[in-house]
């Protein structure tokens, strides 16, 4: 084989592997903006969460105040299994106090 053929075959293989990797990464990527309204609280094995049951959102990124009504804006980053098999992980972009809200579980 000539050096040119070896380089061409290597380039084709690398391109195929790269396309497959990008396609797999696109399938795994779970993103979407989300707005949450309520109170954040601590839950064992989960961390800071909002909501309850299947609508549990685990907050990461920016620390939010606990047990205070807030409005949260963030991005879904995927599902986690540490919270008893359910919960959606949310990377918090920003939050603001919610003057009309209240914490119902207190």
Instruction: Specify the higher pLDDT residue, 28 or 56.
Output: 56
- Contact at 8 Å (CB) between 63 and 91? no
At residue 102 the predicted structure's pLDDT band, cuts being 50, 70 and 90, is confident
Asked if pLDDT for residue 8 goes beyond 80, the answer is no
Asked if pLDDT for residue 106 goes beyond 50, the answer is no
Q: 6 vs 11, 14, 78, CA distance in Å? A: 9, 12, 41
In whole numbers, what is the pLDDT of the chain averaged over residues? 78
Percent of the chain with pLDDT over 70: 69
Q: What mean pLDDT do residues 3-26 have?
A: 66
């Amino acid at each position: 084989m000539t050096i040119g053929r070896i380089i061409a075959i290597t380039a084709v293989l690398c391109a195929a592997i790269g396309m497959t990797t990008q396609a797999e990464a696109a399938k795994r990527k779970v993103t979407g903006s989300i707005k949450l309204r309520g109170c954040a609280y601590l839950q064992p094995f989960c961390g800071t969460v909002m909501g309850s049951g299947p609508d549990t959102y685990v907050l990461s990124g920016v620390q939010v105040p606990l047990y205070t009504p807030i409005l949260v804006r963030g991005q879904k980053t995927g599902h986690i299994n540490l919270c008893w098999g359910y919960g959606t992980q949310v990377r918090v972009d920003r939050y603001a106090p919610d003057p009309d809200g209240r914490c119902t579980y207190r």
